[in-house]
Structure formats: C-alpha cells, structure tokens
Chain A
Amino acid sequence: MNRRHALRHIALISGGLALIPSCDFSKDDILAAYKNLKVTASQKALLAAISDTIIPAGEIKGALDLEVPDFILVMVNDCFTKENQEKFTAGLTAFPDYVKESKGKKYNELSTKEKEQLILDAAKLEGDDSEEGKRKAAIVYFLNSTKRFTIQGYMASEYIQTEIIPYSLIPGEYNGAVLITDLQKPRING
C-alpha cells in the first residue's frame, strides 16, 4: 500500500479532512508519517522483521514485499484508541530488551526457527499489575496486534487479491446447498 496514495484516499473519502502530515524525517529518527505514534525508523525496521517472521517470502511474496509494516502502522495510527496506541508502542519499545533477556541476542541475530519460537512464546506471556507484568502485557498486545494486522494487510493486499486469490466483485448466483466435496479447491503452494 502506497502511503501517500492511501492518505489521498482518506482525504477524498472524508471530504478533504486534513490528515496529510509533513514529512520531516530529520529530528531524532521519529517517523512523522505516523503522527499519533512516536515510532522511530529502527522500530519500524524491527516491526518489519517481525512481520517477515510471521509471513515470510517464498515462491509467493511475503509480508515485507507487500509493505505490510506500513499498513500496520497506518492502522495503529489511524484506527486505534490513544490507550491502545500507547500499549502498542510500549510493547514495541520493550520488545528488543525482552529478546536480549530471553535469548541473549538481538532479534536480527536469531535464526528463523528461533524467531518463530520467540514470537509464539512471547505471545503467551502473562501480564499482571506489577511494572514487569505491565511490560509483558504490552508485549503480548503488541505482538497480537502485529500478527492480526500482518494477516489482514497481507491477505487484503493488491498482490494477493489480484494474483494469488483473485477477489471477485461479482460473486455469482447464490447456491444455498453446495456439497463441500464438490468444491474445487485450488491448492496454493505458499
């Protein structure tokens, strides 16, 4: 998704609502494109690496090829409440330390298998009211949101909906009693 294109769409649909931010990347690495979030370029790179772990490239393109990290940040920036934005960014901020503590390495230095296991494990952390518990809860929230938006941004992308599983605006006459065994299931090799 081309962000500028997206913003123009919002502007059109919402009747010229001024949402188009200035693009100032100079000050302290904070990405001005996501005006409700304080996300740095390196945090976006980490988010990209995580979405690449969730849906990697193969014969069929992966999340990174489809600019899913940008989609995730657009959704968090535009569609989350302030409270949930704070939880998301707290989780994103806490994640590198969590990786270091549990694996002794940076996220980038882990193997694919290790990354996958780490994310599956981290998504099961249990939070509580303590400082540490809140940090864990934020990490869980961040990872679950990231996974959800990765799946949504990936599946509802132009590439998937035109080249892989073409979306039809005209779905055809209704058949209210189709035998599942009669359905042609195109197996797609991810």
Chain B
Amino acid sequence: MANLNIRSKQERTYQAIVIGSGISGAWAAKEFCDLGVKTLMLERGRNVEHIKDYPTTNLLPYEFPHRNQIPQEIQEANPVISRCYAFREDAMHFFVKDTDHPYVQEKPFDWIRGYQVGGKSLLWARQVQRWSDFDFDGPARDGFAVDWPIRYKDIEKWYSHVEKFAGVSGFKDGIPHLPDGEFLPGYELNVVEKYFAEQLKKHYGNDRHMISARCAHIHGNAEYYAQQGRAMCQNRNLCQRGCPFGGYFSSNSSTIPWALKTGNLTLRPDAVVHSIIYDEEKGKATGVRIIDRLTKETEEFYADVIFVNAAALNTNAILLNSTSNRFPNGLGNDNGLLGKFVAFHNYRARVSGEYEGHSEFTTSGGRPTSGYFPRFRNVYKQETDFLRGYAAGFSASRGVGPDTSGIGMDLKNSLLNPDKYGPWRVGSHMMGETIPKETNFVALDPNQKDEWGMPQLRISVDYDDNDEKMVKDYIEQMTEMFTKAGFTNIQSADSKQAPGLDIHEMGGVRMGKDPKTSLLNANHQLHAVPNVYVTDGASMTSTSTQNPSLTYMAFAARAAHHAVAESKK
C-alpha cells in the first residue's frame, strides 16, 4: 500500500470532514456549507451525478433485455442482494453485489448496500414519518437499552428544517404519536383505503388509524424547489433508477448539488475510509485516512471536526478500525460497547386479502406512496406480552387483465383489450420495532480482509422471542381488522427473512446520557472524542417503528449546527 501524500498537508486540510454521502452525510455537508464551513465529503464509491449518471431513468420496458428480471447467473452469484425487492435490471448498478464486498454472517443477515455518491438515498422507499416522545421515551419506560438523551422538543425544529427543504407531502392527521410536520399537499388515499380507514374508526374508535404515508416527494409548491433544480414528482414510480425531475429527495438531486453551489464543498468519491486519525497529544481526532478505491494508495485528510455517516454498520466498522494507544478497541470505545446493541426493523410478515365491494371503481394514474398504519400496540401503556409494537404499510389496488387461457386470434384480442377486472386486492406488511441487545453485534473479523486490506465486518444479529410474539400479534390483529372490514380470502405469510433485508439496521454507536453505557452524547459527539460526531443509523438508541431516514436527516442537520456553534466558542 503506497502512501501518496504528495499534496501538502495544508491542501488536504478542511474545517470539516463528512464520511459518507448518503442521506445523513450529505445533510451534514449541506448544513456545513450553508454555514460557510469548508467541507470535505468522502464517499467510498464512484461518483453519481444527478441525471447524468442515471443510465436507465428513461428506458421503456422493452429496452430491458430481460424485462427487468435479474439474470440467473447474477442471482446465483449474489444471493443476498438478489433478495432485495429493488434489485432489478433497472437499478442493479446502484446496489453492492455480494461478490464485490464480502462480509461474514455469523448468523444470516442480508446486508443491502449502495456504494456510490448518494448512497442508498437513490434507492430508499422515501417514507418519512416523524418520531414522537412515545418513541424517545420507550427504552426508559420499558426498561431496555438506555434512555435516549434527547426528546422530541430537541429534534422538532430540525424535523421541520429538513422536511421543508427535502419536500414532504402529507396530511395533518393529528395523531399524537405520529406528529404532523411541514407538509406539501398530501396524496389522497384511494376509495378502498379510505373505506378501510373508516372501518378502523368504526370498530376500534380512535385507537387505530390508516393514513396516507408522508413521503419525500414534491407535490405542489414546485417554485420553492426550483431553486434546488427540482420539479414536481411525476408519479412515475421509477424512483430507484434516479429521478431526472428530482421529484423525490435524494442526496444527488438535492443536498449535494446545493452544497456544491456554495463553493464550500469538496466531494471526494472513490475514497474508502480506513480509519479516523487520533492525536494523543491533542486529545482529539485530527483527520481521516483513506484508501483510494482504484489505485489502492493511502491518503490523509485533516479537519477540526469529523462526521461519520457511512451508513449504520459501516460507521461501526470505521470506528472499530480506528485504533490507537488511547483507543485500542476502536475510537471512543472505552466501555467496550462499540458495535453492540445493533437492532433493525422486523419486516417478516404480510397479510393480504380481497375486497368485493366498491366494484364499480378502479384507479388511474400513479402515486409515490400508499397507506400507513401507525403503531397502536403499547403506545400509552404496556398492554401485551411483548414490548413495543409495529406499524404497517397498507394499500389497495385493482388491476385489469386479459384472459390468457385462449390461443391464436382469441388470445391476441384478449391481450390487446384487457377488460377483466378482478376484485380489489388489499395488502399490508409489518414494520416492527426490535429491542437492541448486547448479543446483537457487529465486529471486525480478525482474519478475513477485503480487496482494500480492510477487515471484513462480522455480523451477528438475530430475532428474539419478542419479535416472534410481535409477528404473531401482527398477523392476528391485521387478520381481525381485515375480517371486520369485510375483506375476503385473507392470507398471511411469515417470510422468516433474515434481519437486514428491511434495510433499517441501526445502532452500535448508540446515544445515551452516561459514557459508561453509551458511545455518543445528546449532541451526537463521541463521549470520549467530542470532535467526532455520528448522526446516521449507528447512533440510534432504539428503533421504534417509523422509517428512520427522516430522523437521521434531522440528527445530521442539528449536529452540524452544534459543531459550528462549538467551534465558535
């Protein structure tokens, strides 16, 4: 490994370094740049420029040689990524292939990654529900993990801050445990989804809700977003290819170009972070050592403040690999808890059915979101034999298809004139909170290394009894709700999918009040190295049920402002 620090140290010195260009890293970089901070953003993958590097974005279905199916050879070589719903012919160039970046599964874990500028912000499902104090209070009330060192009041204005800039459509639903935000006009539910919402009200009073999921799409007020170069969502539902309109929020369409425009951002793709450099004399971190992805040469960059936003598990890996005399077990890891208390969302179960009613209706056009069923279990007090609860996605749809039983001219006529309306199909999937435990952890493998000489990550994460009970309860409850709503042919399934496929892995560098039991303080600073911040999924003390990205964005913006305020002291 050659060391190629040919440029002067001064040339490689910035005021802030952000590791990672995904949804949280790019937010931190944007805030820094807006505040006049000279920022270096490191990204391990290749550059992906908005629009220019979306090769499939305007392809028509017939332009995909396998009509969007992944060829068998690729599937067999990459079983983990092939299980991801969005790994299709149109977006596979944005996903990490198993074969390129191996890791060690002590227990089955489907680690879904996007190594490129923008990270997984190009591929996310764009659902953005706020947390409330019913979530932040969780660990303290129910006696697991550690108490969050922050509450809703600490993060509320930052939610508003990021929602306004990212563009979030939704309705003010007035649900105490799913706070309303700064919303663009919402997307109306369809006739059967509204019917289900009414049925819930009728049978369960004000306890169970079905709302239009808040999503990070521009719906109305396009003028405000024109200054970011973004336009209205066109309802294409091809988001995973990259959106040429910037209709949904991604680092690539929004925060990165915005930060670049300030002149304060230096974007360095192909920079695989090796470690954070800790200076024992100064008692702080002074920079970041990288390995160039292509040349494999090492280079060092320096800054007063370092943000680690490499995506939850890779943030853990970087800190674990940042060893020194002071921190032999990883940066800031005085208590030995770094990498532990990893958790995720339980997405195992689905309930589906049919509905014969409203048969005179169908839908037209497209929309980027669907229904959201907020948590109702154990919200105000402990009610069940498992801790916490689950939210659920819900949608109703109706297809029109041809009769394909025939052959020849009959079949052809039928194909070209589809008129067979089936019943409405309704479907729901659970999004369960999992309880962080010391036994669910990631660590560096002592022997196996990757192509860049970096230790491979060992992942040891599994479900527990609480998760099994929650799956059972979700299936029972959703089946009951479907039955009461008059849905028929109700089917449930437990996919038993491995953790990770939810793509909501969290923790390992958790926040907390006490340095003995947590890694980060209330401002996202490492207790032991306050000029290093972690504001991605790694910082999560508990997981709640909401899709987590919005919270990471708010964390990143809040922490960046904190870091700037600190530097002025």
Tell me if B419 counts as interface (CB < 8 A to partner A). Answer: yes
The 6 A-B pairs at the shortest CB distance, nearest first, are namely A176-B190, A6-B65, A174-B367, A190-B412, A177-B191, A171-B366
Could you tell me which B residues sit within 8 Å of A by CB distance?
55-56, 58, 60-67, 69-74, 89, 92-93, 187-191, 193-194, 234-238, 360-367, 404, 407-409, 411-413, 415-417, 419, 421
Q: Residue on A with the closest CB to B366?
A: A171
- Chain A contacts with B in 125-147, Cβ cutoff 8 A: 147
The 8 Å CB contact of A174, one of B65, B238, B365, B411, is B365
What are 25 A-B contacts with C-beta separation under 8 Å? Answer: A9-B64, A14-B71, A55-B408, A56-B408, A60-B416, A79-B70, A79-B72, A80-B72, A151-B404, A155-B415, A156-B61, A156-B62, A156-B67, A158-B62, A170-B236, A172-B235, A172-B366, A174-B188, A176-B188, A178-B361, A178-B362, A180-B360, A181-B360, A183-B364, A188-B416
Knowing A152-B67, A156-B67, A169-B58, say if A174 contacts B404 (CB, 8 Å): no
The 8 Å CB contact of B416, one of A78, A147, A164, is A164
Q: Residue on A with the closest CB to B237?
A: A171
Least CB distance from A8 to B in Å reads: 9
B363 contacts A180, CB within 8 Å? no
B415 contacts A151, CB within 8 Å? yes
The 8 Å CB contact of A55, one of B62, B360, B412, is B412
A174 contacts B72, CB within 8 Å? no
A173 contacts B235, CB within 8 Å? yes
B190 contacts A74, CB within 8 Å? no
Knowing A116-B407, A170-B235, say if A9 contacts B65 (CB, 8 Å): yes
A171 vs B234: C-alpha distance when bound (angstroms):
8
Least CB distance from B455 to A in Å reads: 26
A175 vs B364: C-alpha distance when bound (angstroms):
5
Knowing A10-B71, A172-B366, A179-B361, say if A55 contacts B55 (CB, 8 Å): no
A112 vs B410: C-alpha distance when bound (angstroms):
13
The 8 Å CB contact of A14, one of B92, B235, B363, is B92
A79 contacts B62, CB within 8 Å? no
A174 contacts B235, CB within 8 Å? yes
A156 vs B92: C-alpha distance when bound (angstroms):
20
12 more A-B residue pairs beyond the given contacts A55-B412, A56-B409, A176-B194, with a C-beta to C-beta distance below 8 A: A74-B65, A78-B71, A78-B72, A80-B72, A151-B404, A169-B60, A171-B235, A171-B366, A174-B364, A179-B360, A180-B361, A180-B421
Least CB distance from B236 to A in Å reads: 6
Q: Which residues of A contact B64 (CB under 8 A)?
A: 9
Q: Which residues of A contact B62 (CB under 8 A)?
A: 1, 156-158, 161
Knowing A13-B56, A79-B69, say if A177 contacts B361 (CB, 8 Å): yes
Q: Residue on A with the closest CB to B367?
A: A174
A190 vs B417: C-alpha distance when bound (angstroms):
9
A158 vs B63: C-alpha distance when bound (angstroms):
8
Q: Residue on B with the closest CB to A157?
A: B62
Tell me if A53 counts as interface (CB < 8 A to partner B). Answer: yes
A174 contacts B366, CB within 8 Å? yes
- Proximity bits, A91-114, B CB within 8 Å = 1, else 0: 000000000000000000000100
Tally of A-B residue pairs with Cβ under 8 A? 150
Tell me if A185 counts as interface (CB < 8 A to partner B). Answer: yes
A45 vs B92: C-alpha distance when bound (angstroms):
34
A157 vs B404: C-alpha distance when bound (angstroms):
18
Q: Which residues of A contact B190 (CB under 8 A)?
A: 174, 176-177
A15 contacts B93, CB within 8 Å? yes
Least CB distance from B178 to A in Å reads: 21
Q: Which residues of A contact B93 (CB under 8 A)?
A: 13, 15
Q: Which residues of A contact B74 (CB under 8 A)?
A: 14, 17
Q: Which residues of B contact A14 (CB under 8 A)?
A: 71, 74, 92
Q: Which residues of B contact A25 (CB under 8 A)?
A: none
A173 vs B232: C-alpha distance when bound (angstroms):
11
A173 vs B247: C-alpha distance when bound (angstroms):
13
Tell me if A75 counts as interface (CB < 8 A to partner B). Answer: yes
A158 vs B415: C-alpha distance when bound (angstroms):
16
Least CB distance from A178 to B in Å reads: 5
Knowing A55-B412, A173-B235, say if A167 contacts B362 (CB, 8 Å): no
A188 vs B419: C-alpha distance when bound (angstroms):
12
A4 vs B375: C-alpha distance when bound (angstroms):
52
Q: Residue on A with the closest CB to B67?
A: A156
A151 vs B411: C-alpha distance when bound (angstroms):
9
B407 contacts A54, CB within 8 Å? yes
A157 vs B61: C-alpha distance when bound (angstroms):
8
- Chain A contacts with B in 13-63, Cβ cutoff 8 A: 13-15, 17, 53-56, 58, 60, 62
Least CB distance from B72 to A in Å reads: 5
A56 vs B406: C-alpha distance when bound (angstroms):
13
Q: Which residues of B contact A169 (CB under 8 A)?
A: 58, 60, 234, 236, 238
A190 contacts B409, CB within 8 Å? yes
Tell me if A154 counts as interface (CB < 8 A to partner B). Answer: yes
The 8 Å CB contact of B364, one of A79, A172, A188, is A172
A183 contacts B65, CB within 8 Å? no
Q: Which residues of A contact B366 (CB under 8 A)?
A: 171-172, 174
Q: Which residues of A contact B237 (CB under 8 A)?
A: 171
Q: Which residues of A contact B364 (CB under 8 A)?
A: 171-172, 174-175, 178, 183
Q: Residue on A with the closest CB to B413?
A: A190
Q: Residue on B with the closest CB to A150?
A: B411
Q: Which residues of A contact B415 (CB under 8 A)?
A: 55, 151, 154-155, 190
